[in-house]
Copies of this chain bind each other. A is one copy, B any other.
C-alpha cells in the first residue's frame, strides 16, 4: 500500500522536523544568549513555512483520497492515522496562507503593543492591536462555516469537538458552586508570601521531589525559565522548567505541574511515536494531567510530608501541616497565574465569557475593560485598581490566542474527575503519597489516558476513563473540602 507508506513517511518527517522546532523554542527560552533572538525567529519561521508546505501539500490529499477509497484494508491504528491526517489536512487547507501570515504578523505586533501598554496600564494604547487580532480571529473562524458559533471554530484548534454551549453549561455550574464557597472561606494574610525559602533550598527540594516521583537524568532536564513550561523533544527526552522567585513554593508546585504535562507525553503508546497520533489529545486533557499532579498529588495533605521532608533536608524546617495550609489557602486575588486552585477557575470563566463575546461580536474591544472589572467583582468580589492588573495581565489575546483559556479550567475539572475515578479504582492514595509511591498512579494514567495519544478527543477520552462526560462535581467537592480545611 504505497499511499500508506508515503503518508506515514511524511508524518514521521513532520514529527522529526517539528521536534527540532520545539528544540529551537526550548533553547530560546532556557539557553539562548539574548542577542540570538532575531536569528532564531528567522530559523523557526523558515522551519514553519517548510513544515506547513509539507503538511498541506497536494500529494498528501491524494494519498488520503486513495486510502479512504480502500479504507477497509487498514488496521485500527492506521484507520486512526488516516482519520486524524484527513482532519488536520482539511483544517489547514481551509485557511488561506495569506491569512496565516497576517495572523502571525498581528500576533507579533500585538505582543509588542501589549508589553508597553501593560507597563503603562494603558488599555487604549493596546486596543487597536487587540481589535486587529479579534478581526483576524473572526476571519479565521469564518473559514469553518459549519460550526454553530464562530468561537467553536477556534476551540477546535485546542480541544477538537468541544462546543461553547457545553463549556458555558460547565462554567455556569462552576461559578454557581464556587462563588458561595469562596465567600465562606476564612480570610487571612497570604501564607505562601509569608514563607521565605532561600533559592538554593528550593532548588534542592525541586530536585529531590522530582526524583521521588520519577525524574531521572537519563531522560529529563530540569532548567529555569521566565515562564515554566514543558517540552517533549521525544518520548525519552523531556525538558521541564520552573522558576525561583520570592513567593513561597511556586518553584516546587510549578515543577510538579510541568512534570504532569511531561509524563503524559512520555507514556503515549510507543507505536504512536513518529505518527500524527503521538502527542496529547487536546489542551484540556494536557492541562488535566498537569493539574492532577499539581492539585491532587503535589498540594495534597498526604504528599506534604514528602515536600516538607525535602525542604527540611535542604535546611528549611517546615511542618507538613503548615505547608499544606499554605499550599491550599483560598484567597480571591487579581492575578490569574498566582491564584489558588479554588479561585483559579473563576478567572477562566471570566476570560471565556469575554473572549467568546468578542469573537461573536457581542462585545466591542472598547467595552472590554469595564466588562472585565464588572466580572471580577461579580465572580471573585475583587476590585480591579487599574488595567495593568486587570484586562492587560495576560499575553494570550495580544498573541491572537482565542479559545485557549477554557482549557485551563477544563483541565482543573477533568483532573478532579480523573483523580476521583483513580481512587475508586485503586483505593485511597493517602498512604502511597505519604511515601511518594506514585507508580500505581503513573500506570493508571498510562492505561486510561496517556497511551491513546490523539486517538480519542477530549470528551470521549474522559468518558472512556470515567464512564461519563466532563463533570464539574468532583472538582466542586474537592474545592469544598479544601475550604472546610
Contact = CB atoms under 8 A, between A and B. Distances in A.
A23 interface: yes
A221 interface: yes
Contacts of A176: none
This chain's copy number in the assembly: 2
Interface string A9-36: 0001100110111011001000111111
A255 to B, nearest CB: 16
Contacts of A97: none
A236 interface: yes
Contact of A27 (B23, B33, B35, B40): B23
Contacts of A21: 20
A35 B237 contact: yes
Contacts of A238: 33
A143 to B, nearest CB: 27
A236 B20 contact: no
Contacts of A12: 42, 46
Contact of A43 (B19, B31, B220): B19
Nearest to A14: B46
A234 interface: yes
Interface in A219-262: 219-221, 233-238
A449 to B, nearest CB: 22
Nearest to A41: B16
Contact of A23 (B16, B23, B42, B45): B23
A34 to B, nearest CB: 6
Interface size class on chain A is: 35 or more
Contact of A34 (B13, B35, B218): B218
A17 B43 contact: yes
A45 B19 CA distance: 12
A31 B217 CA distance: 11
Interface in A45-75: 45-47, 49-50
Contacts of A23: 20, 23-24, 27, 43
A426 interface: no
B35 A218 contact: yes
Given A20-B20, A27-B27, A39 B221 contact: no
A137 to B, nearest CB: 28
Contacts of A38: 234, 236
From A46, A47, A235, residue with most partner B Cβ within 10 Å: A46
Contacts of A274: 42
Contact of A36 (B32, B43, B44, B236): B236
Most B CB within 10 A of own CB, among A50, A219, A238: A50
A217 B27 CA distance: 15
A43 B24 CA distance: 13
A237 B19 contact: no
Contacts of A49: 13
B33 A46 contact: no
Given A50-B50, A233-B36, A43 B16 contact: yes
Contacts of A234: 36, 38-40, 43
A33 B235 contact: no
Given A27-B27, A31-B221, A221-B31, A237 B36 contact: yes
Given A236-B36, A236-B39, A20 B24 contact: yes
A23 B25 CA distance: 11
Given A12-B42, A16-B39, A31-B221, 14 more contacts: A13-B49, A17-B43, A17-B46, A19-B39, A20-B43, A32-B237, A33-B221, A35-B219, A36-B234, A38-B236, A39-B235, A40-B234, A40-B237, A50-B50
Q: Lowest 4 A-B CB distances belong to which pairs? A: A36-B237, A39-B234, A16-B46, A35-B236
13 contacts: A12-B42, A16-B47, A17-B50, A20-B43, A20-B44, A33-B217, A33-B218, A33-B219, A34-B219, A35-B236, A39-B233, A39-B235, A40-B233
